[in-house]
């Protein structure tokens, strides 16, 4: 039987060298995730919850952990070579480690199961995605979001039955959702608790379930919501709408709607932070003589910008405050343009002669960068 069990360290997701605090932290997270109160009717979660508690019961005890590290599961299996004793009853699968769980999450004494059964559970968060244009991200917009969330059944108000008379306290567990079980171990008979099978831990039995939710008390509903997307939002940033997620249980707060914003690439601009960048082609004459060139700006259109004579290809210029406003401070970023000088092509014979005469007329002194390059090359 021990061969069928998973390694306890693997169950808790920790290394064998993990300390007590790390083991306790991993246990708390997993126990809360798989607790029957959080997963009513989920058999798989119930099995994992027992598995997590079994692993913690061993690894949190230094003596049991030492035996486990030495002999594995056989240390607690009386059928494995006679067993080592001192810790039995896991093989039955009916143990409830509620005392361990309640020491972390509240409750105690005989009423702890009932209090946990009736505690509020917060609703789940919901994810959605919306795609917007580059300009919409820069200036803000409104979008309609479609999503599905779990709500209390409108027909029964979340009770699971239309009429109160159709709900009765479970006679098996008397409304606690837990039953006492006596089990024989190598230490003798032990009395433990487990989830009531009659009501599946709910503490109540619905004689006539609501036809809309089939007695669950909750239904999934498709929703539409118009959302304001603020100016300055960037690609993959999230908008969180508090309370727009799934409904809580027994007074628990609703979850949140988390919207991931995706921004389409622009044909002209690229963004980094609140600055935007673009490449502007200019002619050879504009670069050599200087010119007032047209520069594209956000929202469409262009503005004039004066570049000096002798501008080299790849030179960047900054237009202050022409970028995207910060989503929080509203302070605008900059627009950085990089000029790309276009070399003339497909010249006719007359143009070639004029250009050749022009090059000869330049003489020495206008190729300083080229001359410096070859000096470095040949004077290594």
Which tokens sit at 311?
A: 């501008």
CATH (domain of 333): 2.60.260.20
286 located within any domain: yes
Instruction: Kindly state whether residues 84 and 27 are assigned to the same domain.
Output: yes
33/239 Cα distance (integer angstroms): 26
Residue 229 pairs in a beta bridge with 141
Instruction: Kindly state whether residues 133 and 257 are assigned to the same domain.
Output: yes
101/35 Cα distance (integer angstroms): 9
Map the chain to HEC letters: CHHHCCCHHHHHCCCCCCCHHHHHHHHHHHHHHHCCCCCCCCHHHHHHHHHHHHHHHHHCCHHHHHHHHHHHHHHHCCCCCCCCCCCCCHHHCCCCCHHHHHHHHCCCHHHHHHHHHCCCECCCCEEEEEEECHHHHHHCEEEEEEEEEEEECCCCCCCCCCCHHHEEECCCCCCCCEEEEEEEECCEEEEEEEECCCCCCCCEEECCCCCCCCCCCEEEEEEEEEEEECCCCCCCCEEEECCCCCCCECCCCCCCEEEEEEECCCCCCEEECCEEEEEEEEEHHHHHHCEEEEEECCCCCEEEEEECCCCCCCCEEEECCCCCECCCCCCECCEEEEEEEECCCCCCHHHHHHHHHHHHHHCCCCCHHHHHHHHHHHCC
Which tokens sit at 108?
A: 């105690």
Q: Which positions ≥6 away from 362 have C-beta within 8 Å?
A: none
200 located within any domain: no
Instruction: Kindly state whether residues 318 and 365 are assigned to the same domain.
Output: no
241/255 Cα distance (integer angstroms): 9
Q: Which positions ≥6 away from 145 have C-beta within 8 Å?
A: 128, 130, 224, 225, 226, 227, 257, 259
305/290 Cα distance (integer angstroms): 11
CATH (domain of 18): 1.10.287.110
Number of domains forming the structure of the chain: 4
Tens-digit pLDDT profile for residues 267-296: 999 999 999 999 999 999 999 999 999 999
**Cα Rg of the chain (Å, integer):** 36
Cβ count within 10 A of residue 377: 8
Which tokens sit at 60?
A: 């949190």
Supply angle C-alpha 211, 125, 162, rounded to 5: 20
Max intra-chain CA distance, the chain: 110
173 located within any domain: no
Instruction: Kindly state whether residues 241 and 144 are assigned to the same domain.
Output: yes
Q: Which of 263, 291, 310 is the last residue of a domain?
A: 263
Instruction: Kindly state whether residues 137 and 259 are assigned to the same domain.
Output: yes
What's residue 375's pLDDT? 63
Instruction: Kindly state whether residues 48 and 60 are assigned to the same domain.
Output: yes
CA dihedral 266, 272, 273, 277 (to 10 degrees): -70
What's residue 103's pLDDT? 42
Instruction: Kindly state whether residues 336 and 366 are assigned to the same domain.
Output: no
12 located within any domain: yes
180 located within any domain: no
254/263 Cα distance (integer angstroms): 29
181 located within any domain: no
Instruction: Kindly state whether residues 131 and 84 are assigned to the same domain.
Output: no
Determine the straight-line distance between the first and last CA of the chain, rounded to whole angstroms: 77
Q: Do 126 and 146 meet the contact criterion of CB atoms below 8 Å apart?
A: no
CA dihedral 363, 364, 367, 371 (to 10 degrees): 140
144 located within any domain: yes
Instruction: Kindly state whether residues 132 and 145 are assigned to the same domain.
Output: yes
pLDDT by residue, tens only, the chain of 380 residues: 455 688 999 999 999 889 988 998 899 889 888 877 677 778 888 888 888 888 898 998 888 888 888 878 877 765 544 444 444 444 433 344 444 444 444 444 444 444 455 577 889 999 999 999 999 999 999 999 999 999 999 999 888 898 888 889 998 898 888 888 877 665 566 777 888 888 878 888 988 999 999 988 899 999 999 999 999 999 999 999 999 999 988 778 999 999 999 999 999 999 999 999 999 999 999 999 999 999 999 999 999 999 999 999 999 999 999 999 999 999 999 999 999 999 888 989 998 898 888 878 876 656 556 566 656 666 65
Range of the domain at 93: 2-106
358 located within any domain: yes
């Amino acid at each position: 039987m021990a061969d069928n069990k998973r390694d306890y360290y693997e169950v808790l997701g920790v290394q064998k060298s993990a300390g007590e605090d790390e083991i306790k932290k991993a246990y708390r997270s997993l126990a809360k995730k798989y607790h029957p109160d959080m997963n009513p009717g989920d058999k798989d979660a119930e099995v994992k919850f027992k598995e997590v508690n079994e692993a913690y019961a061993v690894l949190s005890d230094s003596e049991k952990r030492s035996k486990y590290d030495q002999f594995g599961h056989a240390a607690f299996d009386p059928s494995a070579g006679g067993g080592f004793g001192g810790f039995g009853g896991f093989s039955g699968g009916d143990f409830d480690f509620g005392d361990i769980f309640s020491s972390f999450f509240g409750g105690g004494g005989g009423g702890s199961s009932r209090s946990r059964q009736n505690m509020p559970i917060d609703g789940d968060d919901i994810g959605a995605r919306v795609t917007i244009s580059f300009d919409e991200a820069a200036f803000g917009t409104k979008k309609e979001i479609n999503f599905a969330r779990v709500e209390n059944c409108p027909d029964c108000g979340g009770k699971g039955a239309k009429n109160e008379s159709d709900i009765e306290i479970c006679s098996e567990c008397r409304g606690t959702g837990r039953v006492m079980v006596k089990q024989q171990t190598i230490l003798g008979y032990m009395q433990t608790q487990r989830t009531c099978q009659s009501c599946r831990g709910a503490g109540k039995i619905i004689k006539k379930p609501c036809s809309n939710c089939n007695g669950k008390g909750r239904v999934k509903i498709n929703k539409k919501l118009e959302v304001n997307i603020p100016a300055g939002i960037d690609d993959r940033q999230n908008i969180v709408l508090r309370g727009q997620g799934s409904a809580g249980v027994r007074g628990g707060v609703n979850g949140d709607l988390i919207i991931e914003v995706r921004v389409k690439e622009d044909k002209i601009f690229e963004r980094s932070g609140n600055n935007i960048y673009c490449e502007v082609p200019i002619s050879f004459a504009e670069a050599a003589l200087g010119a007032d060139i047209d520069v594209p700006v956000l929202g469409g259109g262009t503005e004039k910008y004066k570049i000096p004579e002798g501008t080299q290809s790849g030179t960047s210029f900054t237009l202050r405050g022409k970028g995207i406003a910060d989503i929080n401070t509203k302070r605008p970023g900059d627009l950085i343009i990089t000029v790309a000088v276009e070399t003339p092509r497909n010249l006719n014979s007359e143009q070639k002669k004029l250009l050749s005469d022009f090059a000869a007329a330049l003489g020495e002194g206008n190729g300083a960068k080229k001359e410096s390059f070859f000096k470095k090359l040949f004077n290594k």
